[in-house]
């Protein structure tokens, strides 16, 4: 039922092969799956196109300087993924090709259970159980699983395993993904269009939208801090963040560590007068951040430590993470 529906209704995505055809390039499958983690298809498409045009093979990506890859990733978020992309590409290039089994794929940097299963099934035709958020929703409704998330995930995986076929497991997984994306969505259940409607226990219950059951969300903690804009001769001072930690390895404005909003110059990289330019807000996975932006009121030498002067007219080419891109736009918009 599902495979017939997928053959007729599969989404046309740049990293996919058409149903029942030669499997897609493992490199494209892997790259797309890493990019799609906690990110929408619409957001990923332009990044995927940019990456595959610039680095069309895993060997080309492995040879790229890390800072260029990190800059190209800027704005996509979850930057640990980008660091793992660099490490994984280098390892695959050293191996000569992607491993073709789920177990060996899991050994690569950044490939957890889901990504390894997805690459094994979609790129290599292996039987693997692929469960993303869309599949999770479809299976929870199909079997009317009453346990709440995240505890229900073990049961969902067992049920997904029970319906995964030995052949065309990749198409089957992508069919479930497409079903969850367009038919069995979080806000709607278009049961009359669903190929599984006759066997769906969630539909039979009369209220499929209540599934999967979700535990109450915990309130996110908040943090505050200050970013510092230091400019001279139409260039702004940028630093590189430490390789580990939030936004690791990315170019950014200097900041105070986001622990406490100071008086405008606390923990600043330069002494002297600072002028408040406003506040930007950004939500990370585990906390919300309110970041004040302080502009140095004088033309000064470069602050201590490593950094670089970047032309303000081409600041968007610096590959700043979204948080600091917001801060830069705030300063430049106020000036304009």
Residues catalogued as catalytic = 33
Q: How far is CA 103 from CA 118, 123, 164, 167, in A?
A: 12, 14, 18, 18
What is the distance of C-alpha 60 from the center of its chain?
22
DSSP-assigned beta bridge partners for residue 226: 292
| Inter-residue contact 255 to 226 (CB < 8 Å) | yes
What crossing angle do the helices spanning 169-182 and 2-9 adopt, rounded to 10°?
70
Least Cα distance to 77 among 285, 239, 310, 255 occurs for: 285
H/E stretch holding 66 reads helix 66-73
Token reading at 167: 């052949």
Least Cα distance to 100 among 17, 34, 21, 27 occurs for: 27
Rounded Cα–Cα distance for residues 206 and 187 (Å): 15
Rounded Cα–Cα distance for residues 22 and 24 (Å): 6
Backbone angles phi, psi at 25, to 5 degrees: -60, 125
SS3 call for 83: helix
Token reading at 58: 């895993």
Q: For the chain, give the number of residues.
A: 336
């Amino acid at each position: 039922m599902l495979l017939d529906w997928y053959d007729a209704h599969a989404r046309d995505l740049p990293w996919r092969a058409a149903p029942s055809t030669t499997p897609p390039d493992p490199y494209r499958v892997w790259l797309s799956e890493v990019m799609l983690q906690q990110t929408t298809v619409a957001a990923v498409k332009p990044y995927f196109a940019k990456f595959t045009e610039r680095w069309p093979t895993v060997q080309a990506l492995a040879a790229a300087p890390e800072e260029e890859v990190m800059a190209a990733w800027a704005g996509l978020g979850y930057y640990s993924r980008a660091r793992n992309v660099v490490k994984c590409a280098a390892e695959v290039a050293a191996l000569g090709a992607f491993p073709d089994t789920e177990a060996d794929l899991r050994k690569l940097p950044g490939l957890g259970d889901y990504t390894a299963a997805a690459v094994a099934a979609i790129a290599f035709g292996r039987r693997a159980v692929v469960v993303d958020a869309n599949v999770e929703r479809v299976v929870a409704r199909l079997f009317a699983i009453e346990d709440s998330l995240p505890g229900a995930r073990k049961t969902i995986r067992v049920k997904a395993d029970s319906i995964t076929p030995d052949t065309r497991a990749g198409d089957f997984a992508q069919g479930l993904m497409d079903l969850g994306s367009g038919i069995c969505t979080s806000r709607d259940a278009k049961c009359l269009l669903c190929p599984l409607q006759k066997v769906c226990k969630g539909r039979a219950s009369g209220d499929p939208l209540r599934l999967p059951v979700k535990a109450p969300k915990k309130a996110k903690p908040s943090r505050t801090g200050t970013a510092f804009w230091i400019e001279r001769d139409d260039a702004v001072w940028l630093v590189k963040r430490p390789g580990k930690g939030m936004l690791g390895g990315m170019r950014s404005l200097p900041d105070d560590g986001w622990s406490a909003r100071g008086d405008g110059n606390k923990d600043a990289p330069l002494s002297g007068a600072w002028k408040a330019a406003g506040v930007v807000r950004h939500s990370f996975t585990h906390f919300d951040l309110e970041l004040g932006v302080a502009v140095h009121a004088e033309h000064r030498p470069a602050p201590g430590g490593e950094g670089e002067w970047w032309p303000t007219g081409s600041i968007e080419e610096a590959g700043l993470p979204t948080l600091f891109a917001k801060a830069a736009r705030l300063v430049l918009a106020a000036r304009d």
